[in-house]
């Protein structure tokens, strides 16, 4: 019967994290210190809605001019706020997103929510 793999290549001094979580300290890892996580740096954008410099959205939401504009001008925080509002609109009005009128309604509300100036 062989000994269970302990993540330390047979050494008896393996830590609890090595044994339980299966961590091995390796120069090939992106996080060279145990339990540190590597996150890629997100590009920032000066958001036209909130006026702050924040992380940009991870991807362009739609392959049209409005989606491109949102990707270039809206931060991920304001986009998350829009997604919550969008869900409320869908539920409140019982929208069927297969209908072109429902999509147009959401696009109009999205443009108003993201790009209209507060107080204007």
Q: What is this structure's pTM?
A: 0.64
Task: Output the pLDDT for position 88.
Answer: 98
Task: Output the pLDDT for position 27.
Answer: 56
Give the number of other CB atoms < 10 A from CB of residue 57: 20
- Residue-wise pLDDT for 85-114, tens only, equals 999 999 999 999 999 999 999 999 999 999
Q: Which CATH class is domain 44-115?
A: mainly alpha
Q: What is the mean pLDDT of residues 13-29?
A: 54
Longest dimension (CA), the chain: 76
Give the residue extent of every domain in the chain.
Answer: 1-39, 44-115
Residue 20, H or E segment: helix 16-21
Which has more pLDDT, 71 or 118? 71
Task: Output the pLDDT for position 8.
Answer: 46
Which has more pLDDT, 24 or 63? 63
Confidence of residue 42 (pLDDT cuts 50, 70, 90): confident
If 0-12 CB within 10 Å is exposed, 13-18 middle and 19+ buried, where does residue 109 land?
middle
* Owner of token pair 């204007």: 120
- Residue-wise pLDDT for 43-68, tens only, equals 899 999 999 999 999 999 999 999 99
């Amino acid at each position: 019967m062989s000994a269970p793999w302990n993540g330390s290549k047979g050494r008896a001094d393996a830590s609890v994290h090595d044994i339980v979580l299966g961590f091995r300290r390796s120069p090939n890892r992106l996080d060279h210190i145990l339990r540190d996580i590597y996150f890629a740096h997100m590009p920032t954008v000066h958001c036209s809605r909130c006026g702050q410099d924040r992380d940009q959205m991870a991807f362009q939401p739609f392959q049209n001019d409005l989606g491109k504009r949102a990707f270039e001008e809206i931060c991920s925080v304001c986009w998350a706020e829009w997604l919550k509002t969008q869900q409320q609109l869908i539920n409140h009005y019982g929208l069927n997103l297969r209908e072109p009128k429902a999509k147009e309604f959401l696009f109009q509300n999205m443009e108003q929510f993201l790009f209209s100036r507060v107080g204007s």
